Amino acid sequence: MGLKTKEEYIESLREMTPTAYMFGEKITNVVDNPRLRAGIEATGATYELAEMEEYRHHMVTQSPLINEPVNRFTLPPASIEDLVARVKTNRAVANRVGTCHQRCTGLDCISALSITTYDIDQKYGTKYYDNFINFLKNVQKNDLAGNAAVTDVKGDRSLGPREQTDKDMYLHVVDRGQEGIVVRGAKAHQTGSLSSHEIIVLPTRALRKGDEDYAIAFAVPADTPGLIHVVGRSSLDTRELDGCDLGNIRYSKYCPTLIFDDVFVPWERVFMCGEVDFAGDIVLRFSAFHRQSHGGCKSGKIDCMIGAALTMMDYNGTAKAGHLKQKVIDMVHKAETLYGCCLASSYEGQKNPSGTYFINTVLANASKIHESTELAEAIRLMVDICGGFVADLPSDKDMENPEIGPLLKKYMKGVESVPVENRMKMFRLAEKMAMESADTISDIHGGGSPEAHRITILRETDLESKKKAAKRLAGIAD
Domain of 72, CATH number, reads 2.40.110.10
pLDDT at site 86: 94
**Confidence category of residue 457, pLDDT binned at 50, 70, 90:** confident
Residues 257 and 313 in one domain: no
pTM attached to this predicted model:
0.92
How many other C-beta atoms lie within 10 A of the C-beta of residue 179? 10
Whole-angstrom distance, CA of residue 339 vs CA of residue 300: 9
Kindly give, in sequence order, each residue whose CB lies less than 8 Å from that of residue 336, ignoring residues fewer than 6 positions away: 299
Residue 222 located in a structural domain = yes
Is 68:62 a contact under the CB 8 Å cutoff?
A: yes
Tens of pLDDT along 80-127? 999 999 999 999 999 999 999 999 999 999 999 999 999 999 999 999
Phi–psi pair at 228, nearest 5 degrees: -120, 125
Domain of 398, CATH number, reads 1.20.140.10
How many other C-beta atoms lie within 10 A of the C-beta of residue 258? 24
Residue 365 located in a structural domain = yes
Spacing of C-alpha 65 from chain mean position: 25
Residue 217 has pLDDT above 70, yes or no: yes
Residues 254 and 332 in one domain: no
Residue finishing a domain among 246, 276, 306: 276
Phi–psi pair at 91, nearest 5 degrees: -65, -40
Residue 455 has pLDDT above 80, yes or no: no
Residue 339 located in a structural domain = yes
Residues 298 and 401 in one domain: yes
Tens of pLDDT along 236-295? 889 998 999 999 999 999 999 999 999 999 999 999 999 999 999 999 999 999 988 888
Residues 334 and 377 in one domain: yes
pLDDT at site 436: 84
Secondary structure in 3-state letters for 61-96: EEECCCCEEEEHHHCCCCCHHHHHHHHHHHHHHHHH
100 exposure class (CB count in 10 Å sphere: 0-12, 13-18, 19+): buried
Residues 262 and 287 in one domain: no
Is 275:214 a contact under the CB 8 Å cutoff?
A: no
pLDDT at site 463: 81
Query: Which amino acid, 224?
Result: T
Mean pLDDT of 37-63: 95
Residues 186 and 265 in one domain: yes
Residue 207 has pLDDT above 70, yes or no: yes
Residue 178 has pLDDT above 70, yes or no: yes
Residue 448 has pLDDT above 70, yes or no: no
pLDDT at site 291: 86
Residue 441 has pLDDT above 90, yes or no: no
Residue finishing a domain among 232, 256, 276: 276
What is the tally of structural domains in the chain?
Answer: 2
pLDDT at site 25: 96
Kindly give, in sequence order, each residue whose CB lies less than 8 Å from that of residue 245, ignoring residues fewer than 6 positions away: 239, 393, 395, 396, 428
**Confidence category of residue 134, pLDDT binned at 50, 70, 90:** very high
Query: Which amino acid, 369?
Result: I
Spatial strand order of the sheet with 270-273 comes to 146-149, 198-201, 216-221, 270-273
How many other C-beta atoms lie within 10 A of the C-beta of residue 124? 13
Residue 286 located in a structural domain = yes
β-sheet bridge partners, residue 63:
68
Domain interval for residue 318? 282-462
Whole-angstrom distance, CA of residue 300 vs CA of residue 87: 10
Is 389:312 a contact under the CB 8 Å cutoff?
A: no
**Confidence category of residue 478, pLDDT binned at 50, 70, 90:** confident
Q: Which candidate, 283, 292, 249, places its Cα nearest to that of 148? A: 283
pLDDT at site 471: 84
Residues 127 and 251 in one domain: yes
Is 106:92 a contact under the CB 8 Å cutoff?
A: no
Residues 289 and 260 in one domain: no
Residues 351 and 443 in one domain: yes
**Confidence category of residue 444, pLDDT binned at 50, 70, 90:** low
Mean pLDDT of 376-397: 94
Tens of pLDDT along 304-323? 999 999 999 999 999 999 99
Alpha-carbon distance values, 453 to 167, 275, 367 (Å)? 27, 25, 9
Residues 42 and 163 in one domain: yes
Residue 475 located in a structural domain = no
Residue 470 located in a structural domain = no
Q: Which candidate, 185, 84, 22, 150, places its Cα nearest to that of 446? A: 150
Residue finishing a domain among 227, 257, 276: 276
Tens of pLDDT along 190-203? 999 999 999 999 99
Q: Per mean pLDDT, which range of 165-174, 258-267, 427-436 is the poorest?
A: 427-436
Query: Which amino acid, 110?
Result: I
Residues 12 and 75 in one domain: yes
Residues 379 and 271 in one domain: no
Q: Per mean pLDDT, which range of 19-28, 108-117, 172-181, 293-302 is the poorest?
A: 293-302
Mean pLDDT of all residues in the chain?
93
pLDDT at site 460: 77
Residue 470 has pLDDT above 90, yes or no: no
Tens of pLDDT along 335-350? 999 999 999 999 999 9
